[in-house]
Amino acid sequence: MSNLRTPGPIPVPDDILENMSRQMINHRGPEFKDILYRTTEGVKRVFETKNDVFIMTSSGTGAMEAAVVNTLSPGDKVVNVSVGVFGARFGEIASVFGADVVHLDFPYGTIVDPDKLKDLLNDQPDIKAVLVTHNETSTGVTNDLQAITAVAKTEFGKLVLVDGISSVCSIPLSTDAWGCDVVATASQKGWMLPPGLAFISFSEDAWKAHAEAKMPRFYFDMSAYKHYFEIGQPPYTPAISVMFALDLALQKIEAEGMGSVFERHAGIGQMTRDGVKKLGLSLFPQHESFASNTVTAITVPEGVEASKLLGILRAEHDVVLSGGQQSLNGKIFRIGHLGHTTADEIQEVLDALAVALPKVGFSPSRVEA
């Protein structure tokens, strides 16, 4: 079995995988109703929200679309605060559906400066919503979401839409306490699950926005989800097998406790960063304090061909890492360490890198000396 270390999916614990092969049940029957209510409560606890949370069958991108189309109207002015590929995607979705998107971009490898957002919101009082990525998977950084929402929500009262795809259930995110109106995430991340489900929270302000939001929506219309939830059903046939897996994963998460989940991610993240630095590699984030505890982005050393390095790791060590996306292709590579990731698995990656790097013209020892 490969040591799969992309930033999601990651290997799923055996008992959760076994739950994926349970036989089908009626998604409009009493047994599914129990599962739907129980898992929704569990997801709410992880989100730290008392508000609505819905479980959808889609990838995280579907949940990002749901965040946008359920709360905005064509012509609404929004600011998209971005530090990478997924931040740009959030703005693109809003733009495709007709929002007037003001781009507040920060260089790749850096994080959002809340003061810049403050200046922008002061300058442009007609902005209705702030779209922001909590953890930017493409560059391996975590934004200070609490500081951002303190500006966007507490100070300016804007609607705050959060891409929490690679943070929720791995990195602390207090949906209600921080004033996040919509948070979107997906099953193949910190939840230790296969992909197939996405989760989205909806605050009271989000529902108020929904009542006036005119972007067209059907499959992702949260009012259908809310309506059907009242009778214990999903509006459309869900990925039942992933629901079975979610049910067990939440039991395991509750048994462990969220404090431990966060500490575990922080520890594994630190171990990964310490390890790659010891190999003489450089983290891509401009400061280590920006670095994410779910994915480590590493600068490809001068003269090294990234695809060759990843190919050797896969072929000779059965270690699967991710390259850089779009303009970062060939410039960085990434180690995912979210969800169920052990220290042994990370050590394997580091050991494999120590052997593979010299083969692509980079000598780890040279730098250590």
Note the residues at the interface with its own copies (CB under 8 A): 1-2, 4, 6, 8-12, 17-29, 57-62, 65, 92-93, 96-98, 186, 188, 194-196, 215-220, 235-242, 314, 320, 322
Between 12 and 148, name the residue whose CB sits nearer to its own copies.
Answer: 12
Between 75 and 257, name the residue whose CB sits nearer to its own copies.
Answer: 75
Q: Which of 135, 53, 83, 86 is nearest to 286 (CA)?
A: 83
Between 194 and 275, name the residue whose CB sits nearer to its own copies.
Answer: 194
Between 47 and 90, name the residue whose CB sits nearer to its own copies.
Answer: 90
- Tell me the closest approach of the beta carbon of residue 194 to its own copies, in angstroms: 5
- Tell me the closest approach of the beta carbon of residue 363 to its own copies, in angstroms: 28
Between 98 and 232, name the residue whose CB sits nearer to its own copies.
Answer: 98
- Tell me the closest approach of the beta carbon of residue 353 to its own copies, in angstroms: 17
Between 4 and 271, name the residue whose CB sits nearer to its own copies.
Answer: 4
- Tell me the closest approach of the beta carbon of residue 74 to its own copies, in angstroms: 8
Question: What are residue 77's DSSP bridge partners?
Answer: 100
Amino acid at 19: N
- Tell me the closest approach of the beta carbon of residue 94 to its own copies, in angstroms: 9
- Tell me the closest approach of the beta carbon of residue 235 to its own copies, in angstroms: 8
